[in-house]
């Protein structure tokens, strides 16, 4: 049972919810950029939510399924098609042995997730399957997928098998369920979005102009952005006076400002510590929306309080619970 990579796409890696517990040793968390989409993809194939899936960036890969599989595609719409026929996303998708999945062109969003029922049969490194590209470990050989790779898969889960039966229709090609989870429960994915953030630990060290502009100006996500960080281009933000800071922990969503005044939002592959002043911190509930921003698009930051941020975090978890329950009911009506 495996996925055969015929074309790798721009950047296709294996990711899960990240490698925790080793940041004190300088080992980054990595994991999916859009954890919401990865979790829902897993739910749709009967996997635990933290299971590893493929993260597909903008230009998708071409994949041949060596056996029948139950899969799900979530996240960005990169025009997935099986044997030239467009397939629906955000639902269980049953594919017959020999089927070829392609992605035509990016329609909306930046990263799609492909989960297979049962997950990938690859070794876990330091408690995670996430690919750590720079250090070269985790995922599939510590690297992005290449043409010719055979990614071994486990047998579908029991839960997946129930969905299998439900989805299995034709003897060839593919079929998907006629239901999809309620999109009302998803983050508000949209191009050039407004992203909510709280003040960062060094917010007060910035000039009055910078404190005003961080919330009032739009910033363009530079083409030099990647899984480590989004470089924002726009007005420059400066401190009231030059200050050398002592390095301390940074996290996913930290907005730091190097001396050139152009902010960087740290993303999934961020370093564990940093010494640049932190003007803001993107709220966790909006990180999936930010993860789907395509370089070249703009974002605007909107200030919320920590209390609001944590309420939104809790609401997103409640939405994920409701989605999981709804999918479970589809399996056992």
Binding mask 259-278 for other proteins (x = CB under 8 A): ------------xxx----x
294 binds other proteins per the rule CB under 8 A: no
301 binds other proteins per the rule CB under 8 A: no
Q: Which is nearer to other proteins, 9 or 253 (CB)?
A: 253
User: CA–CA distance from 105 to each of 110, 181, 249 (Å)?
Assistant: 11, 24, 38
93 binds other proteins per the rule CB under 8 A: no
124 binds other proteins per the rule CB under 8 A: no
Binding mask 201-230 for other proteins (x = CB under 8 A): x-----------------------------
317 binds other proteins per the rule CB under 8 A: yes
- Report the alpha-carbon distance of residue 116 to residue 35 in Å, rounded: 16
Render the burial of 132-169: b for 16+ CB within 10 Å, e for the rest.
bbeeebbbbeebbbeeebebebbebbebbbbbbebbee
281 binds other proteins per the rule CB under 8 A: yes
Minimum CB–partner distance for residue 40 and other proteins (Å): 16
322 binds other proteins per the rule CB under 8 A: no
59 binds other proteins per the rule CB under 8 A: no
Out of 53, 116, 250, 257, point to the residue binding other proteins (CB under 8 A). 250
Which residues, 6+ apart, have CB-to-CB distance to 162 below 8 Å? Answer: 46, 331, 332
130 binds other proteins per the rule CB under 8 A: no
Out of 38, 89, 130, 198, point to the residue binding other proteins (CB under 8 A). 198
Minimum CB–partner distance for residue 23 and other proteins (Å): 5
Minimum CB–partner distance for residue 156 and other proteins (Å): 29
- Report the alpha-carbon distance of residue 167 to residue 55 in Å, rounded: 24
Pairing of strands 194-199, 298-303: parallel
188 binds other proteins per the rule CB under 8 A: no
Residues in the chain: 333
Out of 79, 236, 251, 300, point to the residue binding other proteins (CB under 8 A). 251
Please check whether residue 197 is in contact with residue 255, taking contact to mean a CB–CB distance below 8 angstroms.
yes
Picking from 190, 141, 170, 221, the residue whose alpha carbon sits closest to that of residue 288 is 190
Minimum CB–partner distance for residue 138 and other proteins (Å): 8
Q: Give the total of residues touching other proteins (CB under 8 A).
A: 42
21 binds other proteins per the rule CB under 8 A: yes
The dihedrals phi and psi of 197, each to the nearest 5 degrees, come to: -150, 160
Q: Which span sits near other proteins by CB under 8 A: 15-23, 73-81, 93-101, 295-303?
A: 15-23
26 binds other proteins per the rule CB under 8 A: yes
Q: Which is nearer to other proteins, 86 or 314 (CB)?
A: 314
DSSP string, 52-77: -EEEEESS--EEEESS-EEEEEEEEE
Instruction: Label residue 79 left, alpha or beta by phi (over 0 means left) and psi (-120 to 50 means alpha).
Output: left
Minimum CB–partner distance for residue 219 and other proteins (Å): 19
Report the interhelical angle of 306-331 vs 158-167 (nearest 10°): 60
User: CA–CA distance from 185 to each of 27, 120, 180, 282 (Å)?
Assistant: 33, 27, 12, 20
- Report the alpha-carbon distance of residue 113 to residue 115 in Å, rounded: 6
49 binds other proteins per the rule CB under 8 A: no
- Report the alpha-carbon distance of residue 137 to residue 9 in Å, rounded: 20
Residues that bind other proteins (CB under 8 A): 20-28, 125-126, 134-138, 198, 201, 246-251, 253-254, 271-273, 278, 281-284, 306-307, 309-310, 313-314, 317-318
């Amino acid at each position: 049972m495996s996925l055969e990579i015929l074309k790798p796409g721009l950047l296709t890696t294996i990711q899960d919810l990240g490698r925790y517990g080793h940041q004190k040793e300088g080992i980054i968390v990595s994991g999916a950029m859009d954890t919401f989409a990865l979790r829902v993809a897993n739910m749709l194939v009967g996997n635990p939510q933290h299971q590893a899936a493929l993260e597909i960036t903008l230009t998708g890969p071409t994949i041949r399924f060596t056996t029948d599989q139950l899969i799900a595609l979530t996240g960005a719409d990169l025009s997935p098609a099986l044997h030239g026929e467009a397939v629906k996303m955000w639902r269980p998708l049953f594919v017959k042995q020999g089927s070829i999945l392609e992605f035509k062109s990016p329609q909306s969003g930046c990263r799609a997730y492909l989960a297979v029922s049962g997950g990938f049969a690859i070794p876990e490194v330091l408690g995670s399957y996430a690919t750590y590209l720079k250090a070269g470990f985790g995922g599939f050989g510590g690297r992005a997928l290449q043409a010719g790779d055979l990614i071994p898969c486990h047998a579908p889960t029991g839960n997946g098998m129930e969905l299998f039966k439900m989805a299995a229709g034709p003897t060839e090609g593919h079929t998907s369920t006629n239901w999809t989870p309620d999109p009302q429960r998803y983050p508000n994915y949209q191009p050039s979005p407004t992203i909510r953030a709280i003040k960062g630990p060094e917010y007060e060290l910035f000039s009055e102009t910078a404190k005003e502009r961080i919330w009032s100006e739009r910033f363009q996500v530079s083409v030099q952005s990647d899984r480590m960080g989004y470089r924002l281009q726009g007005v420059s933000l400066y401190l009231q006076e030059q200050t050398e800071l002592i390095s301390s922990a940074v996290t996913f969503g930290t907005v730091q400002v190097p001396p050139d005044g152009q902010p960087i939002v740290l993303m999934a592959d961020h370093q564990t510590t940093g010494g640049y002043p932190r003007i803001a911190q993107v709220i966790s509930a909006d990180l999936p929306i930010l993860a789907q921003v395509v370089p070249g698009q703009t974002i605007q930051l909107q200030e919320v309080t920590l209390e609001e941020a944590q309420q939104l975090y809790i609401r997103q978890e409640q939405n994920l619970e409701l989605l999981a329950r709804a999918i479970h009911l589809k399996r056992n009506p």
